[in-house]
Structure 1
Amino acid sequence: MYRKEIYVFDRERPVPTVIRNYRESDFSSLIRIQQESFPPPFPSELWWSPEQLRNHVDLFPEGALCIEVNGEIAGSMTGLLVDHDPNHPAHTWSEITDDGYIRNHNPHGNTLYVVDISVRPSYRKLGLGKWLMLSMYDVVVHKGLERLLGGGRMPGYHKKAGEMSAEQYLEAVIKGELADPVITFLLRCGRTPVKVAADYLEDEESCNYSVLMEWKNPFFTRRFERRDKSEILNKRTQYSK
């Protein structure tokens, strides 16, 4: 199981912080965080339910992380494993996360898919979201996965939808001509855009668009190259006998 003890900074003041796997006793706090993090017009039916959270801790506890500041849960991040084909990336949030219930979690999947990340608004100046993301990268490396992948909302897009396409909006954010609360944050966390996804999630602010963004495991290719070379040498040895 995962546990990381760090300090975050409130201006110049170090604040003790713990990142760990969440458990059933945390459910009520996690639901409150959802309510604070995603107020209307975000659909309230997309907030976590106890049944969904129970599936998270039962089916893939490694992908159920929370962050505590001075003993209070201030944010959470949830993922599941999927077998992702980069040649066929199209999907919706509902399809790939089983509407947040993750009953489709594949223990043998090659990709950790982000179901959700949320931080209580009163704690957002402490950089907790980035620490949660970095911790989920730890899980990707530890499990030897190819990548972390997820759909990033575009909550600033509704202000520009009459002027540009979603693809043009993303390009403007990447160039630094515009800043988006979510996409810019994900770029700062090391995520890179894969494609714009239409009708990804019912989200008025994003006009139902999302940007699929990934983080590739920098150890994955080298690890498997070593394994492949070893297999080749073993076969050569067998044939020479």
Structure 2
Amino acid sequence: MSENPDKAQVTVRNMVLADIPGVIELQKAAFPYMAAEGVIWKPEHLESHISVFPEGQFCAEYQDTIIGSCSSLIIIMTPEYKDHTWKEACGDSFFKNHDPKGDTLYAADVSTHPDYRRLGVASRLYEARKSLAVEKNLRRIIGGGRLFNYCEHAKTITPYDYVMRVKKGEIQEPVLMFQLSNGFDFIKILPNYLKDARSLNNATFIEWKNPQYRRDS
């Protein structure tokens, strides 16, 4: 990596099969805690994502290195704010739940390489998802967000109270603060969402509503 990487050299595009080894290495660097527990993509998962919904899989590249990625699928969720696990929403890790006739883009994951911070990679990936939702006339984007620093407060406050204190600026929480700054709203806590030692398996149900959604189209 160069000492002063240039944002202009970051390219966001749809993921292709040749990107899979780079995405796997990215996941290991971005999620060391989850990688240790085996909770990261495997090649066969990414192959399935590209097969079932190629438009929903994005990667960010810098000087021939994959430094960011995100995976998405279209679903129908009824009721629209129901409790769910990551596995239930995504149809396991193979996106078996993908439904082209759905109205909701589900954000299965987003990862950025820790060595390439301040390049706006995550924001670029979020914008790619938003553009896709507008293009497909989807009503919203939803997902389950990590509570990365909750493990440091779990003995004294509940996940919900933790989120409330983050929103007030009393606790620094990088994931949720970033999501809120990108136009997502916190809906509620999803318990037992995904095996994650730092979040104690909790997640935030987050939602972005497409302002250009056309109900009758």
TM-score after normalising by structure 1 = 0.84
Map of 2:102 onto structure 1: 109
Asked whether the equivalents of residues 149 and 215 of structure 1 are also in contact (C-alpha less than 8 Å), the reply is yes
Question: 4, 11, 34: which one pairs with 1:18?
Answer: 11
Are residues 71 and 42 of structure 1, via their aligned partners in 2, closer, same or farther at CA, if it must alter by over 3 Å? closer
Question: 188, 191, 198: which one pairs with 2:184?
Answer: 191
Tell me whether 1:52 sits opposite 2:45 in the alignment.
Answer: yes
| 1:13-92 matches, cutoff 5 A | 14-40=7-33, 43-92=36-85
Asked whether the equivalents of residues 42 and 203 of structure 1 are also in contact (C-alpha less than 8 Å), the reply is no
Gaps of 5+ in 1: 1-9, 229-241
Map of 2:122 onto structure 1: 129
CA-based RMSD: 1.7
Tell me whether 1:98 sits opposite 2:91 in the alignment.
Answer: yes
Residue correspondences, number: 214
Tell me whether 1:177 sits opposite 2:170 in the alignment.
Answer: yes
Question: 205, 214, 218: which one pairs with 2:211?
Answer: 218
Mapped to 1, the partners of 2:107 and 2:81 lie a distance apart of 18
Shift of 1:14: 4.8
Map of 2:143 onto structure 1: 150
The secondary structure found in structure 2 opposite 1:15 is helix
Asked whether the equivalents of residues 56 and 71 of structure 2 are also in contact (C-alpha less than 8 Å), the reply is yes
Per-residue CA deviations over 1:90-140 (Å, capped at 9, x if unaligned) read: 100011112221022111111000111001110122120111011100000
Asked whether the equivalents of residues 42 and 204 of structure 1 are also in contact (C-alpha less than 8 Å), the reply is no
Shift of 1:80: 0.5
Shift of 1:15: 3.1
Shift of 1:73: 1.4
Larger radius of gyration: 1
Shift of 1:205: 0.8
Per-residue CA deviations over 1:11-52 (Å, capped at 9, x if unaligned) read: 8x5532211111111110000000111113655422111110
Gaps of 5+ in 2: none
Shift of 1:86: 4.6
Percent of counterpart pairs with the same letter?
35
Mapped to 2, the partners of 1:76 and 1:49 lie a distance apart of 14
The secondary structure found in structure 1 opposite 2:125 is helix
The secondary structure found in structure 2 opposite 1:186 is helix
Asked whether the equivalents of residues 34 and 40 of structure 2 are also in contact (C-alpha less than 8 Å), the reply is no
**Greater relative contact order (Cα < 8 A, sep 6+):** 2
